[in-house]
Structure 1
Amino acid sequence: MGGSHQEFIRRKGSDTMSSLNIALLGFGTVGKGVYHSIDSHQKRLQEIFQKEVKIVAILVKNLQKHNIPRKDIILTDNFEEILSIQDLDIVVDAIVGTEPGFTYLQKSLKRGCSVVTANKEMFSKHGKELLNLAGQNNVSIGYEATVAGGIPIIQTIRQLLQVNRIEKVEGILNGTSNFILTSMRKNKGTFEQNLIQAQKNGYAEADPTNDIEGFDAYYKGVILSELVYGEKPETTQADCRGISEITSEMIEEADRLDLKFKHIVTISKSDQQINCTVELALVTTEHPFYQVEGVQNAVSINTDLVGNVTLNGPGAGMFPTASAILEDIIQLDRKVAVSPCTRIVEPDYNTKTKWVLFYQGKSINLPSDTSLFHSPTSKIVIVETDDVSGIKELNPSINFFRLKGDYILSKEKVIV
């Protein structure tokens, strides 16, 4: 691209001061969404910025697979060409994987460019480092798109934490797993059958491991942990509990009791230890996630003043993610603070946890003081205990799931 690129750079020197210039790293689903959204919303963006918003360059891995959307856009597979553009304002990261994204964003920040990223795995590992680097170079980072697609959870937490104190954060942060659990309940069939359907619909990758085993949700939980607590959790992704163990029989049994399976991330702090758990749990009709279905994501925040705030919406996809990136670009221009907030309410450590136990055979062995009730129509027992592992030792074949939300006994449920 040599000569034509240098000519382009010289030409840009005289006409870029009246525009906001953006380089786009990656031109897959998210990258195309950003490009088309900027194009379709140009009038609104010009009203906000009082100048044109322009994609001036796109970085791709394979030049042969892409066509330049406009002749005045640099299409390159060399990141150094991106850095050499005069009057470059913002670098938008729409690639996946820890590298080369981390290196690219480091160089962008040192170059004096603000950045916006949708790369959850990279940001969960290097977010604090990048935020510190941004501060050192007097630029900013937007990362709304790393957590829940089009749901503005990052900005919401920042605004809430100006006065409110956070008590708990829970999230359904992976649309693939939520789709499979919803489909198993509504359309029946096995886990494997519904996973195949998710892949056919484009909701699951050919290798769905990151989604169904909870790793994708864990990366997002780490990002929220650093935002809320200023630190990463002490737990690791090895503590994730996926959804592949679920059976259609469990789904049906739970449905009889008005319970739904959800794959939930919980961010918590106890005894000065920060935890991020990803687990398959059961929610009651009173829980804010009960109606979150299909590929939707949701985040529930409990605070001391406003109470519970729940946001739900599309967690992925071309335009929801592009929406989060564009909103971040606007917030960067307004110089919204990016420092972590730490106004946290310490939880009640004496609160016991309710668990739903699925058992085989004619009975289940329980300590005398743990049973709450069981249903005469199914092999389910709900217990309240702070030591479910002890029950597991007495009953090696049981499956147990945390119960979230208030649960009121009905006539059909018999107290043990």
Structure 2
Amino acid sequence: MAEALVNVLLERLATITFNKVGEEFNMVTGVEKEVKCLTRNLEAIRAVLEDAEQRQVTEATVRHWLSELTEVSFDMDDVLDEWLTEVLKRQIERQEQQGENAPGVVTTKKKVCFPCLSSCFCFGQVDEFARHDIVVRIRELNERIASIDKAKQRFTFEKTIRVPELLQRPKTTSLPNIKTFGRDWEKNLIISKLLSESSEEKEDPRIISIVGMGGMGKTYLANSVFNDEKIKSHFEKRIWVCVSDPFEEIKIARAIIEELDKNNISKNSNELETLMRCIYELLERETFLLVLDDVWNPNCSQWEELLKPLHSGAKGSRVLVTTRNENVAALMKVTSQKFHLKGLSEAVCLSLFFYDAGMDQSSVSKEFKDIGLEIVKRCNGFTP
């Protein structure tokens, strides 16, 4: 139980660090140091948990130590939930402010007054207090974790040696979604961008990105767009490649050739030049849609190299990229064609939850509906 909780916390902290979703907190409070310290303490504790969970059966003191660890782990999980919620609120506010500041848009800003206070505060100030409160609680929990880590020394636990492995994320495919949940508005907007022609386009292919945190539904949305009948009839070639990490040009090039011509022997080459020339010839004068799903961390030279053969396609060709990393979209020089995904509504998340659970939402009891709703609320718009 304790080991599973600690693993979840470490995974969530790694996600926060990798995606820099706590940027707003870092600028105000320097909480990054607390996160790194917390991660180190949790990793030190995790190293002895296998031995601790075996010994708790016969040793009451070890059982008590694990109970304290479990309690603080639950508290930390709640705080991380609130943290992510605050970050999402900040991101939404920033997007709304950018829309309000667009040329020709006139807005009126209001302040919200609280009668129980002696002065007026705007929403931004209230959020500042909320963020500060979360940071204070993280520091307090960090102290509790540090105390538990120190206490483990008296038990002389045996450490478990863990062999580091590359994180393997599940591969995605272009096969149509079995069932759809929400995202109709976003889907139609992206399709219109993919099909539209503009005199302002300087070169093809135009690059469009879908940016959002993990679990937001980027792949699901890209898949719905990819399999839409309008898209199928418009583009002569459609290619789906799951990129993931690391970004390897040869692996991606082979996948593109496989999608375009399964019998082409060039896909077996280890020479990037051979693969790129093959892609150039296969796409020449063809309108194509290339979906690069789950792009993480290419460098500038890697991206430019992959882009070279794509210029042989006909005018109107498009590249659709899904990524968690805002820097990826910037690297690909995506500006106006960037879509930031917001969380799904509670109603959509609830429907998806019961579908994944294999339950008919219309026939479940009120008790199950209430439980499902509580779980969905904790997801904060992410796919449960």
Which band: TM-score by shorter chain?
A: under 0.3
TM-score by length of 1: 0.23
- The structure whose residues are more often helix, as a share, is 2
- The structure whose residues are more often strand, as a share, is 1
TM-score by length of 2: 0.24
